[in-house]
Amino acid sequence: MSALCSVPGSPRPTLSAQVARHLLDLISSEGLKPGGAVPSEVQICKQLGVSRGSVREAYRTLAALGILEIENGRRPRLQPMSANVLAQVFGYALNTAQVNATHVIETRRAIEVQGAQLAARHATDIQKRTLQELIQQMRAAFADHDHARQMAADMAIHTTLAEASLNPLNSLLLAALRAPLEQLMHIDLGSARTESEMARIVDAHEAIVDRVCLGDAVGAGAAMAVHFDLSVASLSRAEQSMKLNHS
């Protein structure tokens, strides 16, 4: 077990945690990529001189974190990064009131303002056409009072902008916030919002898309900031209305 050690002065991690750390170090040192195979449980047992139970627990921990894919009869493989684990963390924080709706929107704002700037620099012609088509869909849904279709177009616009930013973390974080986002948008586009407010939100999205399609990074970021300022104000009014209705 000489390969496993703890930092002097720190609490000694469990044996399975040390095995997991060893595997992460191995992934780094070997330069392994998603889809690549890692040593089997038997190989790690022999290499480190630890029990099969400790190694199995380490592998299960890494699988739960979305790092390893474990299937019977196959060597464990590295998974592409996934938003699933982060989504569970964000959902847990929201459901237990450790964060609130405004916190989620503020976090989105910080991510997406810069994401819009990057999208203005990097969006492809296909992505620009997709954004323009989504704006048309959003306007049509608004005219038809189809809130579900409007929300779907809204989400698709933000997803496309994140992809166009060429920063995979933007897409990862947006996907991880999807469940709480859908909850927020249900409030955001509910009966507490007036027709004129909803029209301004559609206009705000169109302003973002226009700036992105023109390659105006500064303008795209500013338009995204305006959109989120509207969303925060509208959400605050919606939440206040809900409190009054329940009082």
**Can you give the pLDDT at residue 7?**
47
pLDDT at 185: 56
* CATH number of the structural domain 15-78: 1.10.10.10
Find tokens 């009054």 and name the residue: 244
Q: What is the pLDDT of residue 71?
A: 87
Task: Per-residue pLDDT tens, the chain, 247 aa: give them.
Answer: 445 655 445 566 789 999 999 999 999 999 999 999 999 999 999 999 999 999 999 999 999 999 999 988 788 999 999 998 898 899 889 889 898 878 888 898 999 999 999 999 999 999 999 999 999 999 999 999 998 899 899 999 999 999 999 999 999 999 998 876 666 555 544 555 678 888 998 999 999 999 999 999 999 999 999 998 887 776 666 556 555 555 5
In single-letter form, the type of residue at position 107 comes to T
User: For the structural domain made of 84-246, what CATH number should be given?
Assistant: 1.20.120.530
Per-residue H/E/C for the chain: CCCCCCCCCCCCCCHHHHHHHHHHHHHHHHCCCCCCECCCHHHHHHHHCCCHHHHHHHHHHHHHCCCEECCCCCCCEECCCCCHHHHHHHHHHHHCCCCCHHHHHHHHHHHHHHHHHHHHHHCCHHHHHHHHHHHHHHHHHHHCCCHHHHHHHHHHHHHHHHHHCCCHHHHHHHHHCHHHHHHHHHHHCCCCCCHHHHHHHHHHHHHHHHHHHCCCHHHHHHHHHHHHHHHHHHHHHHHHHHHHHHC
170 close to 162: Cβ distance less than 8 angstroms: yes
Phi, psi of 37 (to 5 degrees): -85, 145
What tokens appear for 84 in the block?
Answer: 């699933």
Residue ranges of the domains in the chain?
15-78, 84-246
